[in-house]
Amino acid sequence: MTTIEQLVGEFIDAWNAGRRPDVDAYLLRAEPSERDELAAQLMTWLEIAPTPNFDATTQEAISSEPSLTSALAAAADLRAPLAERLSTLRERAGLAIGDLATRLTQLFELDDEPRAAAYLQQIERNELDERRLSRRLLDALAAVLGADRDQLNPSPMALAGGHAFFRAEEDADEWIVEDIDVLSRAALSPAPAAPMDDLDRLFLGGPDA
């Protein structure tokens, strides 16, 4: 079980027990690199969570807590498709798609700017599966756009296998979590295709390409 899964599980248990868990306190317990994902998963839980038997005053106080509202806002940004986040960051950097393609091909010492631009357009039109993008490409995009690497991660909803919210109480339930994990890993594997060159691998080869 990962740190995020453990923290989400503890938060759910505390919520169901009516203890009003402090979102900010849970985020501080996570590694800085994992806080955005934890915020996204807590948001997902809070959207479906049963409401404990709080009185109206307590419910109003919970909904207005700054730590909760800021966590929900951050998670909402992360749940946006990468297509939306990339176009926003590119426009903020004052770059056209062709400019971004030029800088990427120079960075990787490749010589096919039109095809790189076409791939970038596919991402921004949400026509390319963001799970197939390589980490090298995402790191390069973050560097060129002056963005935090986490801002270009595939969205948690795209990668989610769902197992973070399974609270297996008996050993008989563990196979469900295992099957979901296998399916999640399989989803990240690119489908067999024609041989790919270096540029193709950046955009289609999967996280480790």
pLDDT along the chain (209 residues), means of 10: 82 83 87 86 83 68 62 59 89 95 95 94 92 93 89 63 40 42 45 75 91
pTM, full prediction: 0.52
Half-sphere exposure of 110 (CA within 13 A, CB side): 20
Q: Are residues 75 and 86 both part of a single domain?
A: no
pLDDT score of 68: 57
Q: What is the CA radius of gyration of the chain?
A: 20
pLDDT score of 198: 94
Give residue 39's domain range: 3-79
Q: Are residues 172 and 72 both part of a single domain?
A: no
Q: CA-to-CA distance for 207 and 135, rounded, in angstroms?
A: 5
Token pair recorded at residue 64: 């207005």
Q: Are residues 49 and 92 both part of a single domain?
A: no
Q: CA-to-CA distance for 124 and 118, rounded, in angstroms?
A: 10
DSSP-assigned states of every residue in 78-115: HHS-HHHHHHHHHHHTT--HHHHHHHHHHHTT---HHH
Q: Are residues 10 and 58 both part of a single domain?
A: yes
Q: Are residues 178 and 103 both part of a single domain?
A: yes
Q: Which residue has the tokens 């790189």?
A: 116
45-71 pLDDT, tens per residue? Answer: 887 888 776 667 766 666 666 655 565
pLDDT score of 74: 57
Q: CA-to-CA distance for 28 and 113, rounded, in angstroms?
A: 42
Q: Are residues 26 and 44 both part of a single domain?
A: yes
Q: Residue 143: which of 182, 204, 95, 184 has the closest Cα?
A: 95
